[in-house]
Amino acid sequence: MAEFTLELNDDQKQVRDWLNGFAKDVMRPAAAEWDEREETPWPVIQEAAKVGIYSLDFYAQQFFDPTGLGIPMAMEELFWGDAGIGLSIVGTGLAAVGVLANGTEEQIGTWIPQMYGDVDDVKVAAFCSSEPDAGSDVGAMRTRAVYDEAKDEWVLNGTKTWATNGGIANVHVVVAVVDPEIGSKGHASFIVPPNTPGLSQGQKFKKHGIRASHTAEVVLENVRVPGRCLLGGKEKLDERLARARERAKSGGERVKNAAMATFEASRPAVGAMAVGTARAAYEVALDYAMTRSQFGRPIIDNQGIAFQLADMRTQIDAARLLVWRASWMAVTGKPFNSAEGSMSKLYASETAKKVTAQAIQILGGNGFTREYPVERMHRDAAIYTIFEGTSEIQRLVIARTLSGMPIR
């Protein structure tokens, strides 16, 4: 078992510096353009594929880092480059992880390569879970999957929303209800192959931030997929549903809390994204404060500015420590007895919003213009307190974990 450490090893430092160079040289020069265009930055994704960043192999290597720091380190550097482009690069990973977690070896080998494509023809994938009436409340999901035994096909109907790469993806992974009587335990995940009839893009959202990342509704109208597209297979699903029905009768809360452990383990990655954005804004503000002069001296000489920067750096470092702790706990199997995963996501998200706002204030009128990147960073930071569980949900999870109350 890896000991907790705050020091990256030589291999990790090499990867960090490599990612930082890509973020600095490729992502940052393109960030303002793709934010304005509000389109998927295909050329940047292709560059990421050429150097090996946009690939399952890269993320698998970071995921299996025994210290747990591979993923948060990678997320921080990419989102330090730009949050919108960063999400376009890592968004496919959400669908890939869904297949890795639930799929058979054959499904993993068949579908994940199609999610990424190749260097000459890059593809993206979409993970479709949220719905117009089912965001934080996953039990309210309405998308249904009905099995047609005669044809060995599943028929999907419903509307998904807030889907990263939704509608433009080569492969969609769709979560649907197969047994509404047992709530979230009655859900299953399905692969929707390329060009499947009945799947279409609904509304594409024009967003406040992360505008280089495509976000849209996905509409499913009598979408038929072969039985082999049920992740894990029908036999495994039937066994799981039978166990869930029994547990729902006696000790259903154990099932819910086990599911929460999965969310706790994944939330630090989002926290790392927030740390990257906050760090980027802080560095711009620090450089500006050291070079901008008023009344004959750099503005960092004023305590009002200096103390803000001191607080910003302290909060960023504290957020990173919470993220690293939770990531290490997840990879080493430590129990999240105090909802440490939610803690890391909550604090890092709130820090990103606060630090980017302070950066604008330090830059004054310049910070309010699009001539400087902190305005974009502030818009991007707003998403961290919303997606992958709002700050309010994080606080609820933490409070109920501490009190021993069931997490519903």
Q: Which residues are catalytic?
A: 388
Distance of CA 47 to the CA centre of its chain: 21
CB-neighbour burial class of residue 395 (10 A; exposed 0-12, middle 13-18, buried 19+): middle
- Contact between 363 and 372 under an 8 Å Cβ cutoff? The reply is yes
Alpha carbon distance 55, 129 (integer Å): 23
Alpha carbon distance 264, 282 (integer Å): 27
Does residue 200 sit in helix, strand or coil?
strand
Q: Which residues contact 238 (CB under 8 A, 6 or more apart)?
A: none
Please name every residue paired with 220 in a beta bridge, in sequence order, or none if there are none: 158, 199
Instruction: Single out the residue of 311, 298, 351, 346 nearest to residue 326, CA to CA.
Output: 346
In order, the DSSP letters of 378-405 are HHHHGGGGTTTS-HHHHHHHHHHHHHT-
Q: Which residues contact 194 (CB under 8 A, 6 or more apart)?
A: 114, 170, 171
Alpha carbon distance 269, 74 (integer Å): 9
Alpha carbon distance 72, 10 (integer Å): 16
C-alpha to C-alpha distances, 273 to 75, 90, 349, 381, 386, nearest whole angstrom:
5, 11, 9, 9, 13
Please name every residue paired with 200 in a beta bridge, in sequence order, or none if there are none: 219
Alpha carbon distance 245, 51 (integer Å): 47
- Contact between 41 and 88 under an 8 Å Cβ cutoff? The reply is yes
Please name every residue paired with 298 in a beta bridge, in sequence order, or none if there are none: 293
Alpha carbon distance 297, 124 (integer Å): 50
Alpha carbon distance 159, 37 (integer Å): 26
Instruction: Single out the residue of 5, 100, 14 nearest to residue 60, CA to CA.
Output: 100
